[in-house]
Amino acid sequence: MSGCGLFLRSAAAARSCRALVAFTASRRPLRTSPPSQAFAKELFLGKIEKKEVFPFPEVSQDELNEINQFVGPVEKFFTEEVDSQKIDREGKIPNETLEKLKSLGLFGMQVPEEYGGLGLSNTMYARLGEIISLDSSIAVTLAAHQAIGLKGIILAGSEEQKARYLPRLASGEHVAAFCLTEPASGSDAASIRTRATLSEDKKHYILNGSKVWITNGGLASVFTVFAKTEVVDSNGSVKDKVTAFIVERDFGGVTSGKPEDKLGIRGSNTCEVHFENTRVPVGNVLGEVGGGFKVAMNILNSGRFSMGSAVAGMLKTLIEMTAEYACTRKQFNRNLSEFGLIQEKFALMAQKAYVMESMAYLTAGMLDQPGFPDCSIEAAMVKVFSSEAAWQCVSEALQVLGGSGYMRDYPYERILRDSRILLIFEGTNEILRMYIALTGLQHAGRILTARVKQLKQGNVTTILETVGQRLRDSLGRAVDLGLTGKLGVVHPSMADSAHKLEQNVHYFSRTVETLLLRFGKTIVEEQLVLKRVANVLINLYGMTAVLSRASRSIRVGLQNHDHEVLLANIFCTEAYHQNLCTLSQLDKHSPENLDELIKKVSQQVLEKRAYVCAHPLDRPS
């Protein structure tokens, strides 16, 4: 990842830009079926909406050829000329490197072509994300600029706002930042204290407040800022609601703190941003006054899926480096690669990379469908799975590398440090698990309201019907949701895995109904329950993604498709048994459920704010 220079030859850069112009002109829509119901939400009802996920999304050969012409120069730049060790050591991306990124068009990947951007589809954005992830500091800088910094203008901006801001943001002349987090407001975005007050002449909002941990905060010229404003409701009452604003540094009163000294992604610029009596024109309200929370959530929900492809790209490079070491390092007169416990680690890394890559590109394909489908749950699941798998796999790679993995002379310890932030930013995994579970349960609750109400009221017909269903389930009835057979969509080599998915989905929906009956609206407070619901759903989506992808690989005759089948079957089997265990823990009287004991331990620790147990050498006085 270290390099020997900072610039591509101008001719190579020009060729890559010409290739990209040709690519954007020839782009075709993904060849997938028209969208139907939201896939993940329907799993809560025991339905697999096959048209959403089978066949696996494809791009045309022409589109693939064109993007590959652009991928080459970008990959060459990152692998040969980006000095990641220097960026990490100095805590800064060199200006020359930033200028080259701009010249390659990487600051405008998803900005529409009419505003000077590349107008990449979500699928092609994910593909480039694999390469950009070769340097985490650069990846975070670019993501903060376009996945969240300017994304609000694309999603909620007026035509005038788009025309004014997007061209210079796409070229990189202006850098964007996303300003939401505050000293007293992290995951609880609604509790922000930054305030925007309408001026007496009603031409400006006067913005005051501070934001923390803002990526690109010291580089940005344009900020998407969220602040409390007074809003008059339809009943005449005045309430504080969050509003989104486009704020220019040139408006005045905008200052940035010193760059933070971080554990990882050290080359990205992270700092505090302060607004003191900043005059923001009313025309710079993004979306509706009081609608800022929705704008923030739409921005964050739309970009999370790309973490899957980025992490997969990083893991593929890490697997190559670690495998080279394992196949040449000798211990006990044998290569490390010959030992079973080392082999297990490589199987794990390959499996995790395959699953997150499959989930990411399946979600990207859904997002590329016409009509702006809601894939917020799917995108959140990709983020949770890929971030946790990254941390696990990098740790396993360091275990293979031994002392070499711990030394700063090699890139491995930097990759470990860079990976830790993935579980925190763009929504902590704890918050996202709550979001995944509650969004799905809310959907199921709307559909099942009448049935749950009848069960609570003791409706005999509904009770008998439910008892009959549970009796048939207990006798191990076959579940057929149409994944296999003559009209099936999963290849026969993975029929057993498909049946496991169908069984899991069926029993998951039964559990969902039971939970709604048992907890009702109070389920929002049952975080340990919700965590398990989310974990099951993430596994179900991963199983679906690998079965769809591997089936497509067999059908079109991709190289090494038998390896994909191995990975898919291993993951589906492991996920199936994990789900069975988790679903059993959700039973009210499950002996495996230790939630009450866990709560008791944590309560005692937090009351004392310390480790409670006496020292093992203590004696009673």
- The residue written with tokens 């580089």 in the block is 219
Angle at 613 between CA 607 and CA 616, to 5 degrees: 165
Report d(CA 337, CA 329) in Å as an integer. Answer: 8
Indicate the residue type of 211: K
Respond yes or no: is residue 426 known to be catalytic. yes
Identify the three-state secondary structure at position 233.
Answer: coil
User: Residue 213: which H helix or E strand, with range?
Assistant: strand 204-215
Using an 8 Å Cβ cutoff, are 19 and 105 in contact? no
Assess contact for 101 and 138: CB atoms under 8 A: yes
Cα 47 from Cα 617, distance rounded (Å): 58
How is residue 411 annotated by DSSP? S
Inter-residue contact 298 to 452 (CB < 8 Å): no
C-alpha torsion sign, points 290, 293, 298, 303: positive
Which of 398, 420, 421 has the alpha carbon at shortest distance from 411? Answer: 398
Kindly provide the b/e burial profile for residues 441-476, where b requires at least 16 CB atoms within 10 angstroms of the residue's own CB.
Answer: bebbbeebeebbebbeeeeeebeeebeeeeeeeeee
DSSP string of 362-386?
A: HHHHHHTSTT----HHHHHHHHHHH
CA 151 to chain CA centroid, Å, is 15
3-state secondary structure of 259: coil
Longest distance between any two alpha carbons in the chain, whole Å: 83
- At 148, give phi and psi (nearest 5°): -130, -35
Task: Determine the Cα–Cα distance for residues 219 and 228; give it in Å rounded to an integer.
Answer: 25
Give me the catalytic one of 248, 378, 426, 502.
Answer: 426
- Cβ partners under 8 Å of residue 249, min gap 6: 220, 221, 222, 223
Spacing of C-alpha 297 from chain mean position = 13
Cα–Cα distance list, 603 to 252, 253, 528, 588, 599 (Å)? 48, 45, 15, 22, 6
Cα torsion through 555, 556, 561, 564, rounded to 10: -70
d(CA 309, CA 311): 6
CA distance 429 to 508: 21
CB 316 within 8 A of CB 134: no
- Helix count (H) and strand count (E) of the chain? 22, 10
Catalytic residue set = 426
